[in-house]
Amino acid sequence: MMVHDGDDATLMRSIAARDESALADLYDRHSVPLYSLIRRIVHDEAAAEEILQDVFLHVWKVAPRFDQARGQLRGWLLVMARNRALSHLRKRQDMQVDDLDVYAIPSTGVQETIAEQNELRAKIHAAIEEMPPELSQLFELAYFEGMTHSEIAQRTGQPLGTVKTRLRSGLTSLRRVFQP
């Protein structure tokens, strides 16, 4: 078994070299937020566990193609987890945007430490908690149920334009969380 220093890039290099223990370490590092997100979306423990495994199995498969210099691994994992969970929830095949060729990993931006990611998570939690109820409902339908503008308008009975405007406004306020 190899020794890993816990850095995402190092782990991905080891995984690309087919080191199972590195995948286990990567799992320890990221499985909680991914599992929490998946479970929140699918509301099914067994399905969430299966999807979580699928995500890490996909990492194992594509690790040799992962560009270490680009970083941002957790962002990619979260997008992959959400899309797979929504795909399961809605039986939508068009949500499977989890491959490296499809997901555009940022070439700029900061590679956060785990501590910074946790701080960011706390800020996001606070920002979502502070949302007014009418906006919180729209965000819930969009993020955790994967609904489109039209579907949200139909579900809530709000005009399509109102849905778009409110969601845009909500994203604008959430965006401030990411600003230094």
Partner 1 sequence: MSEHLQFDEDFELYALGTFDADERNAFEAHLVGCLTCKERLAQAQRRVGFLGTGIVQTQPAPHVKQALLKRVRQESPDQAVSSHPSREQSFWSLFSRPMIAWGCAAVIAIVAIVLASQTQALKNRVNSLQAKMQTQQDAAARDRRVAELLTSPQTQRVALKQPTDPARPEGRVYYQPKQGLLFYAANLPAAPSDHVYQLWLVPAEGAPISAGIFQANEKGEASVLLPTLPAGAVAKAFAVTVEPAGGVPQPTGPKVLLGAV
Q: Give the shortest CB-94-to-partner 1 separation in angstroms.
A: 9
Half-sphere exposure of residue 163: CA atoms within 13 angstroms, side-chain side: 20
| Alpha carbon separation from 7 to 25, 68, 122, 129 (Å, rounded) | 10, 11, 22, 31
d(CA 159, CA 49): 37
Q: Give the shortest CB-7-to-partner 1 separation in angstroms.
A: 18
Q: Which spans of this chain sit near partner 1 (rule: CB under 8 A)?
A: 2, 17-21, 23-24, 27-28, 31-33, 35-37, 39-40, 48-49, 52-53, 56-57, 60-61, 72, 74-79, 81-82, 86, 95, 103-109, 117, 120-121, 124-128, 142-143, 146-150, 152, 164, 167-168, 171-172, 174-175, 178-179
> Nearer to partner 1 by C-beta: 9 or 24?
24
> Nearer to partner 1 by C-beta: 27 or 66?
27
| Segment (H or E) for 153 | helix 149-156
> Nearer to partner 1 by C-beta: 21 or 157?
21
Decide if 76 contacts 105 (C-beta within 8 A).
yes
Residue with the two structure tokens 């405007």: 165
Q: Give the shortest CB-111-to-partner 1 separation in angstroms.
A: 11
Q: Return the closest-CA partner of residue 128 out of 78, 164, 74, 177.
A: 177
Q: Give the shortest CB-41-to-partner 1 separation in angstroms.
A: 8
Which tokens go with 67? 């560009």
d(CA 13, CA 67): 9
Q: Give the shortest CB-123-to-partner 1 separation in angstroms.
A: 8
